[in-house]
A and B are shown apart, each in its own frame.
Chain A
Amino acid sequence: MPRGWWTRRSNYFWYIVREFTSLPLALWLLWFLVEIRRAQDGPAGYHPHGSLGFVVFSVIVLLFALYHSVTFLSLAGAILHFNVADRPIPSQLIVLSQFALWAAASVVVGFVLIYFGRT
């Protein structure tokens, strides 16, 4: 395949972006692992990330994360096939259920993170 093939059509480009989302997400998770480890520093030494640079980094990673979520969950309609009473469930309904699951999980995780963050 010629070098730079993915720059010639927009759908090729977005395919590569979809694959690339893994890198910023992996970096953010490694930061998260560091944040967990910092609990070992004790009350005096614990300093969570809070710089503007970290916030900007997180905003950029969030955009990649949302792109991963939308593209990955949208594929569910093509991958998952279920029958109810011998009738196939429409793929749109399967995709909708994945997005509903995403919304529900986000609410639960968000609630736990914020609720247990009250001092």
Chain B
Amino acid sequence: MSEHTSSLPAERGGQEGAVKAHKPAVAHLFWWFMFAQGGVLAAILLPVHILIQGILGPLGIVPVADRHYDTWVNIVGNPLVKLYLLVLIAFPFFHFAHRLRYLLVDLGVPAARGVPAQVVFYGGAVAVTLVTVYILLTTVPISFG
């Protein structure tokens, strides 16, 4: 019997089991929150960034902030923009990590269920978050101008 099933309060019985059953699964809550929010943010914000910064800007159809050094530094230095960029980049990676891990499971890679795979995928999302924080803090000084 798996660890998950054996922890059901009905099988353990008694007051101790009932207390444990009501203990919030904080880690579970955290990862599902990150997965859901990452999915929402990617759905709502990414298409417009890709359209404008990846297609219309490079083709010269519209002026875009990242096409010139001065305009890019001006906008990236804003602390609100830095916070926005952190949310925009970091959250979706937790969503991607979960989906890609289960993509491998669905495609018949049982190792993707294991703890090492979880460490690689979710650890990868944490690593991207830390790198993003580092880049945002060290690339352009914070400026309100």
Q: Which residues of A contact B (CB under 8 A)?
A: 1, 3, 6, 16, 19-23, 25-26, 28-30, 32-33, 35-37, 39-40, 42-43, 46, 48-51, 54-55, 57-59, 61-62, 65-66, 68-69, 72-73, 101-102, 105-106, 109-110, 112-114, 116-119
Cross-interface CB contact of A20 among B59, B103, B132, cutoff 8 Å:
B103
13 contacts between A and B (CB under 8 A): A20-B103, A22-B95, A30-B128, A32-B49, A36-B85, A40-B140, A46-B68, A58-B54, A61-B50, A106-B47, A112-B65, A117-B62, A118-B71
Name the A residues within 8 Å of B50 (CB-CB): 28, 58, 61-62, 65
Tell me which of A37, A51, A54, A61 has the highest count of chain B C-beta atoms within 10 A of its own C-beta. A37
Name the A residues within 8 Å of B93 (CB-CB): 26, 29
**B71:A72 contact, CB within 8 angstroms:** no
**C-alpha spacing A5/B59, complex, angstroms:** 41
Whether, in the assembled complex, B8 has its beta carbon less than 8 Å from a beta carbon of chain A, the answer is: no
**B131:A33 contact, CB within 8 angstroms:** yes
**C-alpha spacing A95/B108, complex, angstroms:** 33
Tell me which of B43, B46, B69 has the highest count of chain A C-beta atoms within 10 A of its own C-beta. B43
B34 to chain A, nearest CB (A): 14
A1 to chain B, nearest CB (A): 7
Name the A residues within 8 Å of B88 (CB-CB): 29
Whether, in the assembled complex, B51 has its beta carbon less than 8 Å from a beta carbon of chain A, the answer is: yes
Cross-interface CB contact of A117 among B71, B73, B96, cutoff 8 Å:
B71
A37 to chain B, nearest CB (A): 5
A72-B131 CB under 8 A given contacts A58-B55, A119-B71: no
**A68:B43 contact, CB within 8 angstroms:** yes
**A62:B47 contact, CB within 8 angstroms:** yes
Interface of A is mostly: helix
Name the A residues within 8 Å of B63 (CB-CB): 114, 117-119
**B55:A102 contact, CB within 8 angstroms:** no
A16-B108 CB under 8 A given contacts A39-B73, A105-B44, A114-B63: no
**B65:A62 contact, CB within 8 angstroms:** no
Whether, in the assembled complex, B118 has its beta carbon less than 8 Å from a beta carbon of chain A, the answer is: no
Name the B residues within 8 Å of A29 (CB-CB): 46, 88-89, 92-93
A36-B135 CB under 8 A given contacts A6-B106, A23-B96: yes
Name the B residues within 8 Å of A58 (CB-CB): 50, 53-55, 58
**C-alpha spacing A51/B49, complex, angstroms:** 17
